[in-house]
């Protein structure tokens, strides 16, 4: 029971990054970024990599995946991290953005209000606003 409670608390803390966050809000949760590439800024917390795409000073794309970092990265060199659990996936969707309902938890899913889209697999969850996904078209 205590292990499950701890797991839920950790998942909630990591999932607290939300679509709409500013850089200041992201850094308050995760500290300074660990890197950037392809227009995304990368953070790590508690074994989860959080990559964000910013537009007009707000997070419009967020990607969660499990990673090995620090000593674990050396210890598990060449191995893939374990998949996200169903509970972690549901937590990431529930919190991004807060209160939005989704039409599923696997594959490509749309929010019920059709303002957000998500790509969900056991290896990661990518969520973006429809405005962001269409901005390059």
Tell me: the pLDDT tens digits for 97-114? 888 899 999 999 999 999
Q: Cα(67)–Cα(112) distance, rounded to whole angstroms?
A: 30
Look at residue 11 in the predicted model and tell me its pLDDT.
40
Query: Rounded to 10 degrees, what is the CA torsion of 27, 113, 12, 55?
Result: -10
| pLDDT per residue as tens digits for the range 38-86 | 889 999 998 899 999 999 999 999 999 988 665 655 454 555 667 899 9
**Residue-range definition of the domain harbouring residue 123:** 2-134
Measured in whole angstroms, how far is the alpha carbon of residue 46 from the centre of its chain? Answer: 12
Number of domains in the chain: 1
Run of H or E including 50: strand 48-55
Task: Kindly report the average pLDDT of the chain as a whole number.
Answer: 81
Residue with tokens 């000593």: 71
Look at residue 110 in the predicted model and tell me its pLDDT.
95
């Amino acid at each position: 029971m205590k292990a499950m409670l701890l797991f839920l608390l950790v998942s909630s803390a990591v999932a607290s990054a939300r679509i709409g966050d500013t850089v200041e809000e992201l850094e308050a949760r995760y500290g300074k970024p660990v890197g950037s590439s392809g227009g995304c800024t990368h953070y790590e917390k508690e074994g989860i990599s959080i990559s964000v795409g910013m537009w007009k000073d707000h997070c419009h794309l967020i990607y969660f995946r499990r990673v090995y970092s620090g000593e674990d990265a050396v210890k598990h060199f060449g191995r893939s991290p374990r998949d996200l659990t169903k509970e972690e996936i549901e937590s990431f969707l529930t919190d991004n953005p807060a209160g939005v309902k989704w039409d599923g938890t696997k594959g490509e899913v749309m929010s019920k209000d059709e303002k957000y889209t998500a790509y969900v697999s056991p290896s990661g969850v990518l969520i973006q606003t429809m405005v962001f996904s269409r901005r390059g078209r």
